[in-house]
Structure 1
Amino acid sequence: MPRSVSTNEALRERSRERILGAALEVFAEKGFEAASISDVTQRAGVSRGLVTYYFPNKQRLAAELLDRWLDGIGAILDLRGSADEKLAGIIDGTLMAAASTLPVQRLAISLMMQPGTHPVFAEVEEAKSVRVAQIEDAIRSIFTARGAADPAVEEMLLRATLEGVTVKLAIYPDTFPVEAIRRRLHAQYGLPEPSTPLPIQSPAVDRLRAK
């Protein structure tokens, strides 16, 4: 009996997700430049033809992964509550995402910074320009509500700070004191001290060292 349209669509989506998952693992392990489509094919357990059907080259795979990363950042648009509660939610949500999805964060940072793949990031960011602007405006509105003199600068500073924290966490995953940094950020912005720690690993160390 022929498969239904919905069944075929589900199988295609499953294959696509398997390929993307394999690409994330391979890129995170080998680095984008060193990884090959053949590596992704072997890790996914599918034919090369199927991989190239969905993604003609590595750049398209990277673009899809970056697209999803940007969508993850867009979750801040769903935050509810007062300006302080939203700001605390952005800080905590970013730290949680950085700690719990480290391979994704490390890959996104790498693709953004490497000369060979920065244009891919720029292309994805441009394609999502409306969404990115919504994220920026949402953060700026929080600082406007808090009485900031220059909400745009505050938005850029917050994002730069959190992205810097993510970079350090990606480099020093075993010694980065996430909880201590979180509480320092809350204090820096005059937010109430968190009543409970984040449910993630957070060693109590005073020096960052790679292991």
Structure 2
Amino acid sequence: MPRSASVNQELRERSRERILTAALEVFAAKGYEAASISDITTAAGVSRGLVSYYFATKEELAAELLDRWLDGIAAILTIDGTPDERLAAIIDGALMAAAGSLPIQRLAITLMMQPSTHDVFARVETAKSDRLSQVEDAIRDIFTARGAPDPALEEMLLRATLEGITVKLAIYQQTFPLEAIRRRLYAGYALPTPTTPLPFPSPVVDRLRAK
């Protein structure tokens, strides 16, 4: 009996997601430059032809993963509450994303920074420009409401700080004092001390060292 159009569509979506998941795993394990389409087809358990059907090049796979990463950042537009509550939620959301989805965070940072793939990131960022401007404006509105003299500078500083934390967490995953850093951020912005810790390990250390 022939499959319905909806069943075929679901199967296609599953195949596409399997390829993207495999690409993320391979990029995270081997790095973008060293990874090959053959590595990805093997990890996904699909034919090279199927990968090529959805993604003509390795660059297209990276662009799709970056696109999704930027969509995750845009999730802050759904946060409600007072300015302080929204700022705390942005901090917690960024730290949770860094600790809970480290492979995609590490990949995004790598693709942003490497000369060979920076253009890939730039093109994806340009395509998402309007959405990212909404995110930036939402953060600036929070700082405006909190009385900051330069909300744009505060927005850039916050994002740079959170992205820097993600980089450090990627390098020092086993020794990074995530909760202590979180509480220091809260204190720096005069936010109420969080009542419950984030659900991730947070060792007590006085120096960062890789293990």
Assess same fold via TM > 0.5. yes
**Aligned-pair distance for 1:156?**
0.2
Q: Deviations over 1:20-74 (max 9, x none)?
A: 0000000000000000000000000000000011001110000000000001111
The separation in 2 between residues aligned to 1:93 and 1:80, in whole angstroms, is 13
Residue aligning to 1:95: 95
Distance between the aligned counterparts of 2:77 and 2:202, measured in 1?
27
Cα distance in 2 for residues equivalent to 1:154 and 1:92: 17
Deviations 1:71-130 (CA, angstroms, capped at 9, x unpaired): 111110011100000000000110011001011111010000000110000000000111
Report what 1:2 is aligned to: 2
Instruction: Give the aligned residue type for 1:100.
Output: G
Aligned residue-pair number:
211
Work out the percentage of aligned pairs sharing the same amino acid: 76
Structure 2 Cα separation of the partners of residues 39 and 117 of structure 1: 19
> What does residue 34 of structure 1 align with?
34
CA distance in 2, matches of 1:139, 1:109: 21
Structure 2 counterparts to residues 186-201 of structure 1, below 5 A: 186-201=186-201
- Aligned equivalents of 1:51 and 1:86: distance in 2? 40
Please report how far the alpha carbon of residue 132 of structure 1 lies from its aligned counterpart in structure 2 after TM superposition. Answer: 0.4
TM-score (norm 2): 0.99
Aligned mates of 1:139, 1:4 — CA distance in 2 = 45
Paired residue for 2:138? 138
Is residue 2:29 matched to residue 1:19? Answer: no
Q: Which residue of 1 aligns with 2:159?
A: 159
Map 1:101-120 onto structure 2 (within 5 A).
101-120=101-120
1:77-92 paired onto structure 2 within 5 Å:
77-92=77-92
Structure 2's unaligned 5+ residue stretches are none
State the Cα deviation string for residues 144-170 of structure 1 (Å, max 9, x = none).
000010100000000000000000000
Structure 2 distance, partners of 1:106, 1:204, is 23
**What is the distance in 2 between the residues matched to 1:120 and 1:161?**
23
TM-score w.r.t. length of structure 1: 0.99
Aligned residue for 1:65? 65
CA distance in 1, matches of 2:143, 2:32: 37
**C-alpha separation between the residues in 2 aligned to 1:40 and 1:186?**
41
RMSD over aligned CA atoms reads: 0.4
- Letter paired with 1:97: A
- 2:125 & 2:148 partners in 1: Cα distance? 27
1:51 aligns with: 51
